[in-house]
Chains A and B, each alone.
Chain A
Amino acid sequence: NAGVTQTPKFRILKIGQSMTLQCTQDMNHNYMYWYRQDPGMGLKLIYYSVGAGITDKGEVPNGYNVSRSTTEDFPLRLELAAPSQTSVYFCASSPLLDGMGEQYFGPGTRLTVT
C-alpha cells in the first residue's frame, strides 16, 4: 500500500490564483480529512468526509472547497488564493474501528501565496 499520497509537494501561487491539492488513499478508508498547519502550530481541520458523496466543514473552511466523488480521492480546492493561506496542508484518512480511529497522514503540500 502507498498509504496517503499528496500532490504537489510544493507550490507557489500568486494572490488571486486558484489550485487543487490532490489527495489519494489506497486503504479503502471511509473517513478523509484536510488540515492546515501554520509554522510552529498544531493542525487545524479544514474539511472532512465520512464517505463518498459526503463532506462537512471543519474549524477553518473559509476559502476552500472539497469534493468526494470516490472513496480514494479527496481533492482540496483553493479559489482566489490569499497570503493567509500560506501553510502546509496535510491530508489524512481513517478507518474508524470500534469508535476510535487512528488517522494516517500524507507527506503534506507546502503552499506559499505571494
Chain B
Amino acid sequence: GESVGLHLPTLSVQEGDNSIINCAYSNSASDYFIWYKQESGKGPQFIIDIRSNMDKRQGQRVTVLLNKTVKHLSLQIAATQPGDSAVYFCAEGAAGNKLTFGGGTRVLVKP
C-alpha cells in the first residue's frame, strides 16, 4: 500500500546548529502532511503541517518544505536545542483524516 518513509534513522546535531530531517512519501494524492515530535514515554506532539498546494511553511524555529515533484518532505529546525532531542515522524493525511506515519528519525542534540 501507500507508505511514508524516512531517509535517516538517527541524526546527531551540535547544539545551536540547524537540523534537517527528511521524509519520502509515495501517495501523490495526499492532501496534507504533518510533522510530529515524540519524546521518550510520551505521545506524539504536533509540530507543523503543510497542505499539498504549498511548498513551504514556517513556524517558530521550524520550517517544513514540500517538493511534490520528487515526493519529498523535510523539517528544518533552527538553532537546535537540547529540548529538541526526540523522535520525529512525518505523516501524510488523506480522506477521512487518516494519517499514514513514517518510521521516525531520532534526533540527538550534543551539548
- A94-B102 in contact (CB<8A): no
Interface membership of A34, Cβ < 8 A: no
CB contacts under 8 Å to A, within B50-68, are: 51
* Residues of chain B contacted by A45 (CB below 8 angstroms): 98-100
- A94-B103 in contact (CB<8A): no
* Residues of chain A contacted by B93 (CB below 8 angstroms): 100-101
CB contacts under 8 Å to A, within B65-111, are: 89, 93, 96-104
Main DSSP-derived SS at the A contact region: strand
- B31-A99 in contact (CB<8A): yes
* Residues of chain A contacted by B32 (CB below 8 angstroms): 99-100
- B45-A48 in contact (CB<8A): no
- A105-B44 in contact (CB<8A): yes
A103-B46 contact in complex given A41-B103, A42-B104, A43-B101, C-beta closer than 8 Å: yes
User: Which residues of A line the B interface, CB within 8 A?
Assistant: 4, 31, 33, 35, 40-45, 48, 50, 56, 58-59, 90, 92, 94, 96, 99-108
8 interchain pairs, CB-CB under 8 A: A43-B44, A44-B101, A45-B99, A94-B97, A100-B31, A105-B45, A107-B43, A108-B41
